[in-house]
Structure 1
């Protein structure tokens, strides 16, 4: 298999993945990394076309230097794409240092005899540095799922292939000049390695993006657009997981049901836009006051629920009282409301016999009790006492 044939395949592969990442970017506007990767793979096609041009040139030095820089640009764009997808900065200072060192190394690279190990090592080192930097970018994101770890491992492997190329050239021999590169065994091996790594990295990146896009779609389906917290479906899903975890560990669990008092009056007096702002404000208070592991949801209208892992009834009451006091402290004038708005709360702690529905019913009963008692207060659902077994004498008398 000749290097020219493999280069042709690489061109086709790069074009396919450029289109694939472009489609991902088009279908999901928030996939900023996909746009960069589409541009990166499209830029990589230029290096292949330039390789085909070298055999026809009497002085290949300008084109060879352009290939070196364009391929470095390709890796840079792809690195920025990966960083954008993972939501981290792409180490701009390190990128600038790699580019500066690469430009300064150009006269050294092309002054050394063609095919020597030292020339190959200096030539490949910036590419090695880019792949290592990609590993750090992904690691810095803090994501450790299997696909993320696989992507780090692949980038590390690709980095090592760049350093191995001078050794491969030494073992199989290289061309005597740039014009003869395409006919050499080294070129066929080098381009074949490039084709394999190109496909592997692109496929894993696409899988990562598909996974994250699916997770994003799922999150959107479980999120209440107005308040930014979980909707009823999302709350039920996450609450069941939290409840199952609490049962397995034996940790306490408390559910707080909340309802904004006289909310219809807010809508009737100030309009639905202001009512929406009050709902969003109350949801933000719930989320700010709750711990990081809490499940916070809007169940509909002005009704909310917060599931507090690792808390008992007293902890749940303190949480509810804190939100109640903050919400009713003063009229939310900044929201366009000129009178104090309050909320009522019902708190219930999980018992051994409770399902999520049972826990919700007891919290709702406590909430309605708070409403009937005058609103703007917290009511507790006391856990039922365990039934004592009947004594023999009681059984006989019965």
Structure 2
């Protein structure tokens, strides 16, 4: 067995392991279509390597050569389909499948050209480069926010496309790819080509696998940090994300404020109208909070009927206006399941982060301000006394 044969065998085994890894993700998360397509891609990769390995056994290798080409190009198309599902891009199945047919016919037609013909080599390698560039386009045109790992995947896709496009030149520099298909595996070019394929194929597979695993972990974390009823962060999730938002605001030198709200007489609503009505009150307030919050705000349900929202880039005066606007708007909302003339209200406590203060201190002061609002008769806004010396002490009270 020559060196190229050995690499072909290694590639076949690696492709099988990668297919199993992607399939494991697909089984773990049955809704992750991208994992199924990526698993299928590497199953086709196994078939390609098996055909390549068997080519020396054929007296006339034209059909197995075309078959190997079509199967590997099909693997790149399946890979692109997986990426498209992952990055929320509509898979361009029709163009890719038409390209597969046209490219396979072209490879069949150039079989009678001399082995060292540049046209023949380009017909074989350029379609792979086109599919890798298509994969690069899928990643870069995604509407999802790309992280460093996604940019690295895009970079390797571009490099892989370039190496496919350059293989005809590499073959020429290394003396060609053999006098016939049976001799291919004994050439220096076969060793280099299969080695490059191993490096890029493994790099792309590991990056795609890392991206999927990252998404699975992110979704698991998100579920563990999300309150099922309100669909806001639960207390643990809120405290973690709010602390990160606060630290980012401090690093950028902008103010940050915290608003805490508590639904008034919530137990009375449950006792009078039932827990289903109470749940609808929570859902209504949470939905209003989600709509009122900007993208950089962090909102959460931190207790049974208690909510909080941290406002980076907002000072105490603006946060107080936000809370007063929320109080007025929520008080005007009709709620399904409650009498038509019944209106719910909420009390609010507001605090702005002070110098050398941590998130726990900010939370404590906002909670103290909320306690003042509850003691003042509810349905009102109170601000933390710690900053009243620096800002106007005006208090908004919905009761007049």
State TM-score, norm by structure 1. 0.87
Is the Cα–Cα contact under 8 Å of residues 109 and 123 in structure 1 kept in the other structure?
Answer: no
Aligned to 2:160: 158
Structure 2 gaps of 5+ residues are 391-400
Q: Cα offset for 1:44?
A: 1.2
Aligned length: 384
Is the Cα–Cα contact under 8 Å of residues 98 and 129 in structure 1 kept in the other structure?
Answer: no
Superposition pairs of residues 170-189 of structure 1, within 5 angstroms? 170-171=172-173, 172-189=175-192
Aligned to 1:13: 14
2:221 pairs with one of 214, 218, 231: 218
1:318-357 deviation digits (Å, cap 9, x = unpaired)? 2222222332224212xx3333222221222222254323
Compute the RMSD of aligned alpha carbons: 2.4
SS in 1 for 2:348: strand
What stretches of structure 1 move > 4 A for 4+ residues in a row? 91-94
1:271 pairs with one of 251, 270, 274: 274
Aligned to 1:325: 328
Aligned to 1:114: 115
1:252-297 deviation digits (Å, cap 9, x = unpaired)? 2221110112212332334333322321221121121012111111
Aligned to 1:198: 201
More deviation, 276-285/38-47 = 276-285
SS in 1 for 2:302: strand
Q: Distance in 2 between matches of 1:320 and 1:208?
A: 39
1:252 pairs with one of 237, 251, 255: 255
SS in 1 for 2:232: coil
Aligned to 1:74: 75
Aligned to 1:390: none
More deviation, 307-316/81-90 = 81-90
Structure 1 gaps of 5+ residues are 387-398
Q: Distance in 1 between matches of 2:179 and 2:380?
A: 87
Q: Cα offset for 1:68?
A: 1.6
1:209 pairs with one of 189, 201, 212: 212
Is the Cα–Cα contact under 8 Å of residues 107 and 123 in structure 2 kept in the other structure?
Answer: no
Aligned to 1:395: none
Q: Distance in 1 between matches of 2:94 and 2:178?
A: 36
SS in 2 for 1:259: strand
More deviation, 230-239/217-226 = 217-226
Change (3 A) 1:282 1:107: same
Q: Cα offset for 1:39?
A: 1.2
Aligned to 2:389: 385
Change (3 A) 1:93 1:378: farther
Q: Cα offset for 1:302?
A: 0.6
SS in 2 for 1:385: coil
State TM-score, norm by structure 2. 0.87
Change (3 A) 1:95 1:271: farther
